[in-house]
Chain A
Amino acid sequence: MTVLAVHGLSASYRKNKVLHDVTFNVEPGSLTSIVGPNGAGKSTLLKVMLELHPKLSGTVSFFGSTHSKMKKRIGYVPQRGSVDWDFPTNALDVVMMGLYGQVGWLKWPNRSHKEKALASLEQMGMADFAERQISQLSGGQQQRVFLARALVQDADLYFMDEPLAGVDAATERAIMTTLKELKEKGKTVMVVHHDLQTVEDYFDHVLLLNRTVVAHGKTQDVFTKDNVYRAYGGTLRWMREA
């Protein structure tokens, strides 16, 4: 069974058409990187699939059903820059937000929820920062808090928007370890990724995107020089010689 099936998806941003006829299927337990040049529509693709941005046409199905029915099985890690880190709250509180769906609307979280959130912070190596103001965390630490928040959701399918952008080496290792653990548990993860050099090491699948799907499949099969050049056009500066 496919976890995610996208068919003929198109979307625009203001006047510009950003996505055109995007079609692909994702198998369970895969760790896929979405790779493409700036403006290729990587973030938009995530947002359209998650119904955060309207689509012009096409269908998206999760576990053979709709997004609204499968919401609880889907986790999302937005770009770190999408929120105001000056907001007065601490790391634990942000992670708790991931549990709000389980707590239920208009209800208060209890001790077991708090313990779950703390365990998740610990998993990301952030146990000592639980009470720390989010504005006082480094970029990498903020990203780990976002990951911890997604982990407590205990979803089956995760979408992450550039979780490795601008983070320190320790955070990158912590995040990649977590992603591999998720995969081992049979979860499916799709990551918008910007670093071509690490694609082969980190991900077993790759989706090369430039407004439409240039190539999609197992990394060893589709992450070829030709395909990457096709996705990036003339903008590619560097690519490892095969």
Chain B
Amino acid sequence: MDSIWLQLALAVTMGMMLFFLYPKAKQWMQNGPKAEQGDWMAAVIPLLAVFAFVLLLIMLV
């Protein structure tokens, strides 16, 4: 469908994005603050709500 050259260009750009994001990801993984008790629960609950909401949307369409 799409030209192979466009797909290659997209792959190269995504590869560049990988190198662009890597230092930031490394910095956050090594020096980012660690979760305290209850932190993950506070994040997982809204994410589960998103998951349930998407399931509802799938049933509605």
**A joins B in a complex:** no
